[in-house]
Structure 1
């Protein structure tokens, strides 16, 4: 009948929303011991399933490292993926001690952050690696105000993540917000750390830069380099990697000023170094390399 709503589609949307709410509720309340068990058992069970994302990760690692990952590495990758998601769901409920007791960071890396924030300001660029949400929650616990940007996800997921990250001490702005660059520039000038996931361009207007040692290229956003040039702030690569249920945080040197393409090529070189060091913390389960 004309004008009759698609009941099946409505029911499917309601079902997906209910599942999202259930996963969020359960995941956000799992204690530390529960997360450990889920990661250990879940990674073994998922390892038995031919998941498309895992196959894509294997292809990405093969290009980046020049070798196919092992079965053991696949299992660690799955544990890392589960751990990252469970952390993102639950970090808003972690105490200061929960966060500070699970971070691994050298004094020199922390001093790099302090120097940039005390001087020209800083834009921190991160890949999809380890737990970037944990890095933000840790910054908040040591007195560093974090501002970031997130994609507008459907069915209320963006709002859930925005509110959860607010509970971790971060301010999240949506992609496509009016005057976004101006708002981020103001945040830099106010002494806040602007943290941007920068290993994939979702706008279609990004830069194509080489991934070192592979002969392949990747598309990355120009925004971080442009923001650093406009504000005169430091641009630094930050990566995280799992060490069991702890998270190691690495802070790179200041990226040398230059054209946006040159600066983002240096950023990608920092990402590549981190992937070589910790491929099982690299959560790139989507097509990544342009000409692999």
Structure 2
């Protein structure tokens, strides 16, 4: 398709241009992107809807502008990351709760669930350069696009599995057993087979992967999220999430992840890059609504 060809050209050009862009240029791109989003408005209205539910109020134009600017910043940084030096990457990340992460990696290994908050690729690069090689899953948008994004992450030290790979679960389990850190974006249920959890008083589905991989391998389950500062990012890491048995246990573990995510999104709503539908408009419920979906079962 012509659109796919154009996207590939922009992506190819961006890899050369992005490392040369200063903060002022990135801010200018953010303003232009907001103007474009207002013209198309589909993604902007979806973003507005998601923020309205999470915050319990109508997001104002200042927040929406900041959100689109944050999304652009992330896109530019992802393209620029391979050109950054080790010190540039490490100096941009300040951690909170790093002891939980290091303790897990010194023991049974770690599975880290992340939302689309801040720059998750920068978080992965920080982990790789800190001596913890990352295995992750990425959305497969097509062979060429997946190859291009995998190449960028590969240069950063990450190992990438396609989200629609039928052997993905086995590869993630194997990665933990090889001593790799498994990091999974976990606030979007791409496969449509996720577990029901409560998020801002709505029932949504979130992937079972982090809880499932942690439980099958004995690795420590953690959640983590990034939020931008003027010149870098704070990466906050949760305390370990306890493993619990059965399908009800998977839901409870995933609910703990969702609770951490919600707290982090509310702290930095402009950095939540959720421009896709997230909430089912009819799924307003109580905490017990998710629990009723649990039934005694195995890992499936």
Same fold by TM (over 0.5)?
yes
Q: SS at the partner of 1:105?
A: strand
How do 1:108-187 residues align onto structure 2 when only pairs under 5 Å count? Answer: 109-154=97-142, 156-187=144-175
What is the alpha-carbon distance in structure 2 between the residues aligned to residue 19 and residue 155 of structure 1?
Answer: 15
1:38 paired to 2:28: no
Unpaired runs of at least 5, structure 2: 285-300
Report what 1:7 is aligned to: none
Q: SS at the partner of 2:137?
A: strand
What is the alpha-carbon distance in structure 2 between the residues aligned to residue 58 and residue 256 of structure 1?
Answer: 34
Unpaired runs of at least 5, structure 1: 1-12
Residues 17 and 155, structure 1, Cα contact 8 Å, conserved in 2: no
Q: 176-185 or 27-36, which moves further after superposition?
A: 27-36
| Shift, 1:138, TM fit | 0.8
1:247 maps to which of 222, 230, 233: 233
Deviations along 1:195-254, one digit per CA (max 9) or x if unpaired, are 00111112222111111xx32111111121111111111110010111124111110011
Q: SS at the partner of 2:35?
A: coil
1:279 paired to 2:269: yes
Q: SS at the partner of 1:271?
A: helix
| Shift, 1:178, TM fit | 4.1
Residues 111 and 220, structure 2, Cα contact 8 Å, conserved in 1: yes
Q: 1:65 to 1:144 in 2, by over 3 A?
A: same
Q: 191-200 or 48-57, which moves further after superposition?
A: 48-57
1:197 paired to 2:180: no
Deviations along 1:237-275, one digit per CA (max 9) or x if unpaired, are 010111124111110011122210000011000100001
Deviations along 1:168-214, one digit per CA (max 9) or x if unpaired, are 11000112334322221121122211000111112222111111xx3
Report what 1:27 is aligned to: 14
Q: 182-191 or 223-232, which moves further after superposition?
A: 182-191
RMSD: 1.7
- Relative to the length of structure 2, the TM-score reads 0.87
Give the total of aligned pairs.
Answer: 275
Residues 35 and 86, structure 1, Cα contact 8 Å, conserved in 2: no
| Shift, 1:17, TM fit | 4.4
